[in-house]
């Protein structure tokens, strides 16, 4: 019986296993995950779960019985430590497992602050796994002083939860604006004002010099010359793809495990999907750090493992919840040269539309689901509206759709 081994039991690994069964793959499936819990959703970790508004059971992608009922051998708390592509085996400690095809859905762990800066002191946290958040949650006490390092989604979502719970929040961003990796200056400025309005001491162009403390972190020296007294620290400074296993096995890696448009790595019979995979996209190669990509790419790989031979074309979208604001992003703004702002119909709602010349690339919608939905459909259908038709708040967005 053919055996497919999936290494990494996050959103991509779980989606891949489930899709193989949905496509009636009759062979054996083994899904191996280093974390001790069944596959779960990560997005709520820095939002509703951290706020205490989502019970643990609702984080799990599927009930545990699902795996047994679908004959998916779920091996939790175990780590693949080697791949032999010639023998077609993986090793887990002393155990050797043979595979016919192998998928790497190893994800991307959070980057940590260097130990030389005090990043290994107790009380310094990252937000990537359930265990990270469960360890950190007791620190969220009213009046506690938290320093958040990094103004990306993790830092900003954690800041919103902390400020909502009555903590004193300082957020530092090393770049000259928050969200610079993903958004235009207009969107960054809008979110900076939102956070400051909720009492967050937000400092851009400010980095950490060092964290100090005896038994745990107590002080933070910053490049703006100040020293903060802190009760705990959260680092939201990005993620790094888990490529060690792939590199050691001789797979091509270039800022991620290199895959083609089918999800195939540089070695036949070995595939990759999700945050760890560097895929071709609009003439370049990139990793898409989004849950939607993890699911869609994994499902495409499942089909291709079974011979579908169908290229995967990512249709990226993202969202973020901060206070009572829902940010929804459709498309990828990479290469944009101008941004059109469109006020929304409701108070406080608006959208930013990214263009490269005449071509619409992406939309950021703040509390404006209609702009998001329409922008997403326009981008998927490669339709670019005239910028002047967007900027007029009285124009009917639906009229832009085919």
Residues that bind ligand NAD (CB under 6 A): 46, 149-155, 157, 172-175, 180-181, 207-208, 236-239, 289, 318-320
Query: Of 20 and 321, which CB lies nearer to ligand NAD in the complex structure?
Result: 321
Outline where DSSP puts E strands in 82-167. Answer: 82-84, 89-92, 95-98, 101-104, 124-126, 145-149
Query: Of 100 and 204, which CB lies nearer to ligand NAD in the complex structure?
Result: 204
Outline where DSSP puts E strands in 65-130. Answer: 72-76, 82-84, 89-92, 95-98, 101-104, 124-126
**Closest distance between ligand NAD and the C-beta of residue 248, in Å?**
24
Residue 236: CA atoms inside 13 Å, Cβ hemisphere, count?
25
**Closest distance between ligand NAD and the C-beta of residue 107, in Å?**
10
**Closest distance between ligand NAD and the C-beta of residue 113, in Å?**
7
Query: Of 154 and 230, which CB lies nearer to ligand NAD in the complex structure?
Result: 154
Residues 6+ apart with CB under 8 A from 225: none
Outline where DSSP puts E strands in 219-300. Answer: 219-222, 227-229, 232-235, 257-258, 270-272, 277-281, 284-286
Query: Of 239 and 397, which CB lies nearer to ligand NAD in the complex structure?
Result: 239
Q: Element (H or E) spanning 169, and its range?
A: strand 168-172
**Closest distance between ligand NAD and the C-beta of residue 148, in Å?**
9
Coil, helix or strand at residue 292: helix
Q: How far apart are CA 171 and CA 152, in angstroms?
A: 10
Q: Element (H or E) spanning 200, and its range?
A: none
**Closest distance between ligand NAD and the C-beta of residue 235, in Å?**
8
**C-beta separation of 117 from 208 below 8 A:** yes
**Closest distance between ligand NAD and the C-beta of residue 186, in Å?**
16
Query: Of 265 and 293, which CB lies nearer to ligand NAD in the complex structure?
Result: 293
Query: Of 85 and 155, which CB lies nearer to ligand NAD in the complex structure?
Result: 155
Query: Of 288 and 400, which CB lies nearer to ligand NAD in the complex structure?
Result: 288
CA angle centred on 49, ends 46 and 52, rounded to 5°: 125
CB closest to ligand NAD, residue no:
152
Coil, helix or strand at residue 240: coil
């Amino acid at each position: 019986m053919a055996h497919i081994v999936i290494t990494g039991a996050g959103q991509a690994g779980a989606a891949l296993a489930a899709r193989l069964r949905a496509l009636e793959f009759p062979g054996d499936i083994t899904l191996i995950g280093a974390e001790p819990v069944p596959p779960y959703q990560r997005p709520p970790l820095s939002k509703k779960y951290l706020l205490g508004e989502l019970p643990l059971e609702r984080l799990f992608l599927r009930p545990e019985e699902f795996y047994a009922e679908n004959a998916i051998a779920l091996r939790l708390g175990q780590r693949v430590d080697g791949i032999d592509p010639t023998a077609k085996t993986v090793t887990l400690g002393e155990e050797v497992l043979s595979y016919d095809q192998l998928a790497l859905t190893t994800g991307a762990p959070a980057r940590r602050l260097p130990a030389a800066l005090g990043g290994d002191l107790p009380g310094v946290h990252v937000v990537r796994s359930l265990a990270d958040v469960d360890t950190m949650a007791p620190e969220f006490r009213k009046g506690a002083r938290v320093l958040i390092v990094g103004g990306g989604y993790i830092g900003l979502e954690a800041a919103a939860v902390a400020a909502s719970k009555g903590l004193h929040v300082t957020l530092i961003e090393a770049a000259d604006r928050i969200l610079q990796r993903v958004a235009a200056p207009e969107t960054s400025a809008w979110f900076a004002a939102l956070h400051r309005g909720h009492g967050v001491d937000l400092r851009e162009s400010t980095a950490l010099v060092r964290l100090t403390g005896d038994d745990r972190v107590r002080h933070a020296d910053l490049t703006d010359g100040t020293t903060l007294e802190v009760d705990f620290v959260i680092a939201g400074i990005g993620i790094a793809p888990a490529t060690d296993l792939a590199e050691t096995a001789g797979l091509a890696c270039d800022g991620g495990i290199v895959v083609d448009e089918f999800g195939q790595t540089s070695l036949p019979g070995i595939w990759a999907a999700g945050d760890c995979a560097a895929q071709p996209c609009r003439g370049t190669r990139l990793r898409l750090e989004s849950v939607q990509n993890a699911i869609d790419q994994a499902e495409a790989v499942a089909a291709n493992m079974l011979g579908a031979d169908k290229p995967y074309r990512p249709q990226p979208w993202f969202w973020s919840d901060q206070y009572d604001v829902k940010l929804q992003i459709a498309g990828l703004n990479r290469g944009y040269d101008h941004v059109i702002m469109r006020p929304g119909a409701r108070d406080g709602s608006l959208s930013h539309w990214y263009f490269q010349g005449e071509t619409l690339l992406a939309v950021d919608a703040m509390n404006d689901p209609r702009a998001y939905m329409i922008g997403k459909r326009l981008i998927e259908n490669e339709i670019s509206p005239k910028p002047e038709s967007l900027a007029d708040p009285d124009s009917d967005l639906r009229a832009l759709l085919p």
